[in-house]
Amino acid sequence: MRNNEYKKNLDYTEELDKYEGYIIEWAVSPSTSEPSKWMGTFRATKADTPTIFGSLGIPEPSEGDAQDKAIEAAKSMIDEAVASKG
């Protein structure tokens, strides 16, 4: 999802549990290039820490797959951020 205007209109759904102190929110929507597939985007927030944003680069076959991949990607980026703080 490279269209930033498109991203502004996404409704994020908050994940109930925190991960490493971050709240992960995600959104999924049909792919603009492959309408039968789904894209996911996420943001992870934590007080006094820069927000982590990301989105999937490859459309997924289902809405659930896009959600799972977005959360997986968010957790991976959080792990990298935590590790870099050492």
| 17-65 confidence digits (pLDDT tens) | 789 999 998 889 999 999 999 999 999 999 999 999 999 999 999 999 9
Per-residue pLDDT tens for 29-40? Answer: 999 999 999 999
Whole-angstrom distance, CA of residue 81 vs CA of residue 74: 11
Among the listed residues 8, 42, 4, 1, the one whose alpha carbon sits nearest the alpha carbon of residue 23: 42
Give the Å distances, CA to CA, from 42 to 8, 16, 46, 86.
12, 14, 14, 24
Question: What predicted TM-score, i.e. pTM, was given to this entire model?
Answer: 0.81
Q: Are 20 and 29 in contact (CB under 8 A)?
A: no
Topology of domain 4-85 in CATH is: Double Stranded RNA Binding Domain (3.30.160)
Whole-angstrom distance, CA of residue 56 vs CA of residue 38: 9
Q: Domain extents for the chain?
A: 4-85
